Structure 1
Amino acid sequence: MSFVPNAKLSATAKQTGQALINFIDKAPSAFHAVFETVQSLKAEGFSQLREDESWEEAIQPGGKYYVTRNQSAVIAFAVGGQWQKGNGFHIVGAHSDSPCLKIKPVSKIESQGTLQVGVETYGGGLWNTWFDRDLGVAGRVFVKESESNIEGRLVLINRPIMRIPMLAIHLQDADARKAFSFNNENHLRPVLATSVMAELTRPKTEEDAKAKHHPILLDLLAKELDVNVDQIFDFELSLFDTQGGAIGGLLEEYVFSPRLDNLCCTWLAFQSLIKSLPTLDDESNVRVAASFDNEEVGSSSLMGAGSNFLQSIITRVSGGNLTGEVARKSMLISADMAHCVHPNYSEKHEANARIQMHSGPVIKYNANERYATSGESALLIKEIGRRHNLDIQEFVSRQDCPCGSTIGPILATRTGIRTVDMGLAQYSMHSIREQCGTVDLELSIDLFSNYFNDFVQVDGTIKTDSLLA
């Protein structure tokens, strides 16, 4: 059908958009995204399983579980009431990370009477959008609780303590005014404080000279965590824009927010799993929602989609190897954001694949396997959409434009599970602030939750091997 948002549906879409914003605002790092996801799972009765413990007696039909790795990746699964070993898994997978600036292991810089922080670019961000933004700090701090116990604790300093100032236009040459350019190492250094004020606030000591980070930054972290500075063993911290998300547009139809790519799809995956739970008793498969870290830098990490995280869970639940039998009964939606046709740059979009906001979730194709969509996996999703009268859009990049990739091809290769790459239309991908449509959130939850509900039945109607019999 052709979707036209009426007043009633627009009101509920706005509520859904605000729920997404509430999640993203609490999740300025992958660690916080996983923490907030776990809170929603625990509220629905999911129990934690640990990778270093036996699951032999734990997994039962009708059970709901979650597993975390590195505090920055999480997989939740709900076992169907009719499940038995050898049955399949239907999965929605996303990622918890977004392009950002990360504080270097040695970050202390002082220049021209100003204290600055050394940062490293993470992922392929539009770094020009980070200039003149009010930046906070979030991530994980390793705190020495005792001589025998070091704990990873989350910290969130949601106030503007840093800024990367733009060079005044009067000091730029003519070429720089036309095309803003900068050096990532020299010019992406946030300003933390002036040397004079720092000295007045906290006089330097001999220990300060040896410190890897500015003492006033360490003081702030210690205060936030209610510990002493000497208890801070190490940290993994990212900068983020302290301006939270907002419902925007004249008709309040947009979400303006940081980190939509890809916290939007992480939130959708787990919300859809939760929404599908009322039908779990009749399910014969295992329903899975997953969010991996490090997709923005290739997924090759302990907690990335290139690791054994998903495979190990499927293997342990199945009670054996990830066999062809289990893989063949399984399906994966790789959920990531998609490029909405840009009204100012429409020529950058393939003429027959100009996807729109409020027109439903998107299947993404690429003949060179940058996306893992196949004819069969796309057909399964289209059939579920048809049964529930849900529009699905289709996207392919222009041949003269580069195409990004996702966790889809990686997981399809490692697991042998049929995979379809999907997303939601958005603007400003990899900017410090991005934009998507509220109605698409509801349409995507409808599709993904019905995928969890209907996959086994729909899969049984599609026979792709009959011609070879």
Structure 2
Amino acid sequence: MMLPAYPSSPEAAKRFLAFVNASPTPFHAVHNASARLEASGFKKIREVDDWEKTLQPQGKYFFTRNQSSLVAFTLPPNWKQGAGLSIVATHVDSPNLKVRPISKREQIGYLQVGVETYGGGVWHSWLDRDLSLAGRVVVTKQDGTFHSKLIKVDRPLLRIPSLAIHLDRNINDSFKFNQETEFVPILGLISETLNKPSNDGENGKASRSANVTAASIQGNHHPALLSVIADELSVAPEEIHDFELSLYDTQPSVLGGINNEFIFSPRMDNLLSSFSAVDAISTYVSSPNFSVLEGNVNCIALFNHEEVGSVSTSGAESSLIPSLLQRLSPTPILHSRSVAQSFLISADMGHAVHPNYTSKHEDNHKPVMNGGIVIKTNAKQRYASDAIGSFMVKKLVERKGGRVQEYEVRNDMACGSTVGPMLSKIGLRTVDVGGAMLSMHSIRETAGSHDVQNSIDLFTSFFEGFAELDKTLTVD
């Protein structure tokens, strides 16, 4: 599909469009981030490797875990064990619908696909959208081994139709639906069996044959669905052994507004921050500053599962950051020194004031899109920002001539959270920031097209200037 050229629009926003359109799942986001890093000279290492034989001052490295999280870091020219880390932490997951392990469903002639909700989505926004499938699939290779391959079906396959107003006259007054029984996507029609009873048991639930092996999934999903997956991957259906698939909206992300000041897109919470982190560190290593700047190890961390609590092997509460700290500073003394010199920017999108719902914001804390980086504060520590972190961000933004905004939730509303508080428990100084956006967790969100560059500028300033700035501040 040809996308608009946007000749007079921010270049960073246009680069982001390409990234988000190619990244319908965390697996794709990590894959595309890895490609960008490798193109910028980063060397991929593995957690099972002996890093002591690999890491060198002025080196550029990254590793992934479970195809769904990524850590990249650069070592300064004077690097020694015990150095601090300057970390930008984001997440690559977003609320979506995931295909169930047994997805095969039928109802009155319709092929349906069972799904599970993931995260806190604005689920009504998924109705009447052109949906497709993306994720990863375990397949057999020609040599008999197995491989996890990415898949992205680039055409509408599924839809969750809403109910016509004629059948629910109160739909505009009190719209509610059951997420289990009234939120099941349709895949197609069983036209040849419209007048025949289903052989799959009550309500079309899949039955498993006694001769199906434990490694076979053929009885769990519609043959038509497996056929689509097999065709996309150029394998036979029986060579598919398992998968993790999510639904995504096939409508591309675009710039919009009278002056292209907006981005209309899915998954901007939090791929906008993730893209900006990757872009910043990739661009930074090609600048003259990279070969001369001393100080901290610069690092980005893209986590999975933030939308469901971060408790996983690839989430922020995993061993990813503690392990990195330990491997770069392996003795207790060096490790303690490294933590004390480190600083973490937790970058996650924030809430712009809504013109139709201005009362949802505290009177003096109403961030706007394209108004600059938002510093997020919460006295109950749902955000990890404090005066020290806020000061640091303001000075770093000031280096690039940018602006900052403040956000704090109303006392009569609950506050969301980020990866910041949980990572601060390691002992890292932490601040929570983000770009302002509308319709967070909708299938189509709205953000400012200039805020991509605003985020990149902050992260670049952080990589370039944090160590020197930190020397000027006395706290303890």
TM-score by length of structure 1 reads 0.93
User: Conserved in 2, the CA contact under 8 Å of 1:94 and 1:336?
Assistant: yes
2:44 is aligned, of 48, 51, 62, to 48
Aligned-pair distance for 1:323? 2.7
Q: 1:198 deviation in Å?
A: 8.3
Tell me which residue corresponds to 1:214. 222
Q: Which amino acid aligns with 1:84?
A: K
Q: 1:323 is paired with a residue of what secondary structure? A: helix
The counterpart of 1:444, out of the listed 438, 455, 464, is 455
Q: 1:92-143 CA deviation, whole Å, 9 max, x = no partner?
A: 0100100000000000000011010000000000000000000010000011
Aligned AA (1:246): V
Any conservation in 2 of the 1:84–1:284 contact (CA below 8 Å)?
no
Give the structure 2 partner of residue 5 of structure 1.
none
Map of 1:319-358 to 2, 5 A cutoff?
319-321=330-332, 323-358=335-370
The alpha-carbon deviation at position 275 of structure 1 amounts to 2.3
Higher alpha-carbon deviation: 311-320 or 30-39: 311-320
SS in 2 for 1:51: coil
2:163 pairs with 1:178 = no
Distance apart, 1:310 and its partner CA: 1.3
**1:152 to 2:162 alignment:** no
Cα pair distance change 1:208/1:155, threshold 3 Å = farther
Change (3 A) 1:13 1:446: farther
User: How far 1:146 moved relative to its partner?
Assistant: 5.7
Which residue among 31, 37, 41 is the counterpart of 2:33? 37
- Are the counterparts in 1 of residues 89 and 301 from structure 2 also a CA contact under 8 Å? yes
TM-aligned CA deviation for residue 387 of structure 1: 3.4
CA distance in 2, matches of 1:434, 1:80: 38
Report deviation, 1:298. Answer: 0.2
Q: What is the letter of the counterpart of residue 310 of structure 1?
A: I
Aligned-partner SS, 2:153: strand
1:12–1:68: structure 2 CA closer, same or farther, 3 Å change rule?
farther
CA distance in 2, matches of 1:323, 1:249: 49
> After the TM superposition, which residues 288-303 of structure 1 pair with which residues of structure 2 at under 5 Å, given as runs?
288-303=299-314
Partners of 2:147 and 2:140 lie apart in 1 by 6
Cα distance, 1:448 vs structure 2? 1.2
The Cα RMSD (Å) is: 2.0
Measure how far apart 1:208 and its partner are.
9.5
Q: Secondary structure at the match of 2:172?
A: helix
Residues 1:418 and 2:414 aligned together: no
For structure 1, which runs of at least 5 residues remain unmatched after alignment?
1-9
CA distance in 1, matches of 2:318, 2:144: 30
Greater CA deviation, 283-292 or 234-243?
283-292
**Residue 264 in structure 1 maps to residue 272 in structure 2:** yes
Q: What does 1:158-307 align with in structure 2 at a 5 Å threshold?
A: 158-174=154-170, 176-196=171-191, 210=209, 211-277=219-285, 278=287, 279-281=289-291, 282-307=293-318
User: What amino acid is the match of 1:184?
Assistant: Q
Structure 1 moving runs of 4+ over 4 Å: 10-13, 207-210
For residues 14-65 of structure 1, give each alpha carbon's deviation from its aligned partner in whole angstroms, at most 9, with x where no partner exists: 3221110100000000000000000000000101110111111111110000
Which of 375, 381, 394 is 1:382 aligned to?
Answer: 394
1:320 positional shift = 3.4
- The partner residue of 1:363 within 338, 362, 375 is 375
Contact 1:108 1:212 in 2 (8 A): yes
Q: CA deviation at 1:299?
A: 0.1
Q: Secondary structure at the match of 2:10?
A: helix
Distance in structure 1 (CA, Å) of the matches to 2:433 and 2:9: 20
Specify the alignment match of 2:216 in structure 1: none
* Residue in structure 2 matching 1:94, options 84, 90, 95: 90
Look up the SS of the partner of 1:186 in the other structure. coil
TM-superposed CA distance for 1:85, in Å, is 1.2
- Indicate if the aligned counterparts of 1:293 and 1:303 stay in contact, CA closer than 8 A: yes
* Range that drifts further, 448-457 or 11-20: 11-20
| Aligned equivalent of 1:4 | none
Contact 1:59 1:317 in 2 (8 A): no
More helix, by proportion: 1
Aligned pair in 2 of structure 1 residues 229, 11: CA closer, same or farther (>3 Å)?
closer
Aligned match of 1:459: 470
Once residues 310 and 375 of structure 2 are traced to their aligned partners in structure 1, the CA distance between those partners, rounded to angstroms, is 21
User: TM-score, structure 2 length as denominator?
Assistant: 0.91
CA contact (8 A) 1:247 1:255 kept: yes
Cross-structure match for 2:212? none
**For 1:35, what is the secondary structure of its paired residue?**
helix
Corresponding pairs, count: 451
CA distance in structure 1 between the aligned counterparts of 2:34 and 2:346, rounded to whole angstroms: 20
Distance 1:329 1:398 in 2: 34
The answer to whether the 8 A contact 1:13-1:442 is kept is no
Residue 148 of structure 2 aligns to a residue whose secondary structure is: strand
Runs of 5+ consecutive residues of structure 2 not aligned to the other structure:
1-5, 201-205, 210-218
Encode CA deviations 1:276-317: one digit per residue, 9 max, x unaligned: 222222222110011000000000001000100111112112
DSSP 3-state at the match of 2:280: helix
Contact 1:89 1:285 in 2 (8 A): yes
Distance in 2, matches of 1:198 and 1:91, equals 57
Aligned-partner residue type, residue 138 of structure 1: A
**Secondary structure of the equivalent of 1:455?**
helix
Q: Does 1:308 align with 2:304?
A: no
Q: State the 1:389 CA deviation.
A: 2.5
**Distance (whole Å) between structure 2 residues aligned to residue 21 and residue 106 of structure 1:** 34
Q: Is the 8 A contact 1:133 1:241 kept in 2?
A: yes
